[in-house]
A and B are shown apart, each in its own frame.
Chain A
Amino acid sequence: MEKRLALQMRGITKRFGPVTANNHVDLDVYQGEILAILGENGCGKTTLMNMIAGIYYPDEGQILIGGQEVLIRSPKDAFDHKIGMIHQHFKLVDLFTAAENIVLGLREKEGYNLKQVNARVAAIAEKYGFHLDPTKKIYEMSVSEKQTVEIIKVLYRGADILILDEPTAVLTPQEITRLFDVIRRMKADGKSIIIITHKLNEVLEVSDRVAILRRGEHIATVNTAETSEAELTEMMVGKKISLDIPRSEPENAQPRLVVEGLNLKSPEGVQVLTDISFTANGGEILGIAGIAGSGQRELLESIAGLQPVESGEIIFHNPKKDKPVTFFHKSMKRVEELGREHAFHDRSGKEVSFEGMHRREIRKWVESGDVLFKEDEIIDIRNKNPLEIRELGIRLSFVPEDRLGMGLVGSMGITDNMMLRSYRKGHAGLLDRKPPRELAEQIIRELEVMTPGISTPVRRLSGGNVQKVLVGREIAFAPKVLMAAYPVRGLDIRSSYTIYRLLNRQKDRGVAVIFVGEDLDVLLALCDRIMVMNGGRVTGIVDARSATKEEVGLMMTRTEKREEEGR
């Protein structure tokens, strides 16, 4: 079949404030082909496609359809040019049936007849091999069915170019297979399909060509048949960039937080976390890498007590404390029992042996208070709410991904936000604003927060300053475990380095730091160990000092490996 150009992009540039999301991107799409757009999170894939779909308008460059320049200013313009995009977040009215959603907004000449619509929808479904009941309501549907509705909605409007944004992110393997069958059938029908993805195996399985984007730039477009996983990975992640982030050797790393066989289902009943097990050590930064939506958020929230887990253990180890052997242990028998479980030591830390000593001597020694042992405080914090966790004396800090929607109250000033964690302290019913104000002033001073005033609503601060306020508060309460989700997202370089410095300082203080990040270079430079998540499972834990970018990248993206391992 002769290849005809369906769509061309020429020198497309899009900026959001100081950030350039796409920089002079050229892209060709042919009729009857499947083009995969591959790239890491934040590389500008979705922004680029949104410009074809009429969500954004490019700052520079041209879009050509069938060789003619067109202006696409709204989704309606895109439809007029027979372009349809299936977004990651479905735009459907929950209360309507599939068919009602499909015809919503259309102004067909013939009257509105749902039976006719149902029939036509069923015909499209049959043609491409979908399984869909047109009369089923959206809220009763699985994610895969909703996606089907979105695809048919686009086909119903006669689209010739279909853009699918991360279509497989929410599907089961069987559903993915079915989706690919449909896509191939649409291709055979002469339609152009663009799939935005970061999953290598899917790219290799379904696409004809692959365009690789990195940091907003178009790196290359290659024929799928002529490339390999390794080559694609290298183009996608690029060469390792060495960042100047200091990293100290962990000292005396001991388990602080142990997660064992954690399983979590979403309220809709979808398995979000499967059999997660790991240990976070004090004095160490544990990085969590993974494509966005691989379960990182759910994992942190279930540790913080915000999501009820289905099964598994979340054990918190309070730092081992020296405790003297005292006389509750009056009887020698008890002391001996204790000795079997713990090693005794003296005040200088030297191990104590009672070997060959007389009981009376032992008793005297013990009574002097010089015989010590280390005791672990082991607390299961599974399904305890944040307040209960705090009341157990566990200092667990959490910097959530959604800074203004969860971690801070946007309409309150810095002082009042400092109080979120501590307002319960002090006087009977009244708030004591003095300590939080002092803390706020200290954070503004030490972290160089740029703010018009201490009572300016934090919503008005810039992203970097908001994050400094949030991180500053969370570390102010001397945590033993600090979890930070995407703490440098959207921050400028300077603020990012401030955050790295803060995390490192916590690590040196013996805190177990858990850092969820998206930039592999940062993860590899900052962390001691990296746990890779993929589809709600742990695909590996590697030493960040020796691991390569490609190695981690593959663990993040390769799904069939997961199949092999999953018994």
Chain B
Amino acid sequence: MNMWLSFLIDSLAFGATFIYGSTGEILTEKAGHLNLGIPGIMCMGGAGGCLFLNMVGKSGLPPVLIVLWGILGALLLSVLCGLIYSFLTVSLRANQNVTGLALTTFGAGLMKVIVFKLNPTVYLSEPKKMYRWPFETRTDSLQRLGILFFLAVVIALAASWVLYRTRAGLHLRAVGENPATADAVGINVTACKYLAICIGSGISGLGGFYYIIDYMGSQEAYLSVEAFGWLSIALVIFALWRPHLTLIGSVAFGFLFSCSSFITNIPGIFVTMAMKPILRMLPYVVTILVLIISSIRNKRENQPPASLGLSYFREER
């Protein structure tokens, strides 16, 4: 297979982690909540999936059930984190930045404690292959694209469709832009926020699960989930708060992040080791540039949701 093509496929596969992470974050941000707990939630998603697979990994259940069971585990723990976050920031109107950071501390720590206790030969060996359907028998790089990769693409497209083409999406965007107006026309702001945050957390959690089980498939993988959580938050800005644009952004981020390890193998391109960090820095630099340019151009559609970071309390007008 063409080297460049396999390189692209790898970027795609790697990027799916960010698609999950940032699609989830976009949903919560669209509800007006800057969730800095996403890295922690992704960790918890990974931990939940591993924990559940650890229970059934060698049970001989049909692959479909095992696959679903793992996904269920990832969803369960990450939505639980989402619930903690929404209870604190929506119901108790706590500071979103502080709550999010506490959640990241908590989630990243708890994942390590959980994974520390699991047996990698059980939860990784068999299930890993099952997630590679339909390409599990391929030997080229196409084998990297499994169920969870396609699920990521579907979720991102679906999220965009829901946000911009359905009534629920309209209501959600109204809540994030102007909760007082949404409230005045009879939208249940609290329910809307809870729902968006929890669904968003579930989606992000799948990202952590995907990275550990599918993309890396190794026990050490969990060490970098938190970092990719932060990169997902960057991708939200890069994608200008549009889930379908995360597809492009994730490939770009995946490319920049992983090319440092590939690029040295390409004949004719000489890269010193010192270039590696610079390449990895690029996603963040580009994100900052996007942030700056969109604030200077001041185009309303490309700004963060207007009430991002602010708690809503009806009686405060």
Contacts and interface: CB of A to CB of B under 8 A. Distances in A.
A and B touch in the complex (CB under 8 A): yes
Interface of A: 74-76, 79, 91-96, 100, 103-107, 112, 114, 137, 139
A107 B187 CA distance: 10
B181 A91 contact: yes
Interface in B262-306: 300-301, 306
A94 B184 CA distance: 15
B185 A104 contact: yes
B186 interface: yes
Contacts of B6: none
Interface in B79-97: none
B315 to A, nearest CB: 12
Contacts of B300: 94-95, 137, 139
Contacts of A91: 180-181, 184-185
> Interface on chain A toward B: helix, strand, loop, or mixed SS?
loop
Nearest to A114: B165
Given A92-B181, A94-B178, A100-B170, A105 B186 contact: yes
Given A112-B167, A139-B300, A95 B186 contact: no
Interface in B140-190: 165-167, 170-171, 173-174, 177-178, 180-182, 184-187
B164 to A, nearest CB: 9
Given A75-B185, A112-B165, A93 B174 contact: yes
A390 B170 CA distance: 50
Contact of B174 (A75, A76, A104, A139): A104
Nearest to B184: A91
Contacts of A76: 186
Contacts of B165: 112, 114
A104 B177 CA distance: 13
Interface of B: 165-167, 170-171, 173-174, 177-178, 180-182, 184-187, 300-301, 306
A112 B171 CA distance: 12
Given A104-B187, A139-B300, A95 B177 contact: yes
B173 A94 contact: no
A105 B178 contact: no
A96 B166 CA distance: 14
A75 B314 CA distance: 14
A103 B174 CA distance: 11
Q: Which of A75, A92, A100, A104 has the most CB of B within 10 A?
A: A104
29 contacts: A74-B186, A75-B184, A75-B186, A79-B186, A91-B184, A91-B185, A92-B181, A93-B174, A94-B177, A94-B178, A95-B173, A95-B300, A95-B301, A96-B170, A96-B174, A104-B171, A104-B174, A104-B182, A104-B187, A105-B171, A105-B174, A105-B182, A105-B185, A105-B187, A106-B185, A107-B167, A112-B167, A137-B300, A139-B300
Contacts of B180: 91
Given A75-B184, A91-B180, A92-B178, 11 more contacts: A79-B186, A91-B181, A93-B174, A93-B181, A94-B306, A104-B174, A104-B185, A104-B187, A106-B185, A112-B165, A137-B300
Contacts of B187: 104-105
A95 B306 contact: yes
Interchain residue pairs A-B with the least CB separation, the first 7: A105-B185, A112-B167, A76-B186, A91-B181, A105-B186, A93-B178, A93-B177
B65 to A, nearest CB: 34
A137 B299 CA distance: 12
Contacts of A93: 173-174, 177-178, 181-182
Q: Which of A103, A112, A137, A139 has the most CB of B within 10 A?
A: A112
Contacts of A74: 186
A112 B178 CA distance: 21
Contacts of A114: 165
A75 B300 CA distance: 29
A116 to B, nearest CB: 12
A106 B178 CA distance: 16
A237 B184 CA distance: 34
Contacts of B306: 94-95
B32 to A, nearest CB: 12
A349 to B, nearest CB: 59
A59 to B, nearest CB: 18
Contacts of A103: 167, 170
Contacts of A107: 167
A103 B186 CA distance: 11
A76 B187 CA distance: 10
Nearest to B303: A95
A112 B166 contact: yes
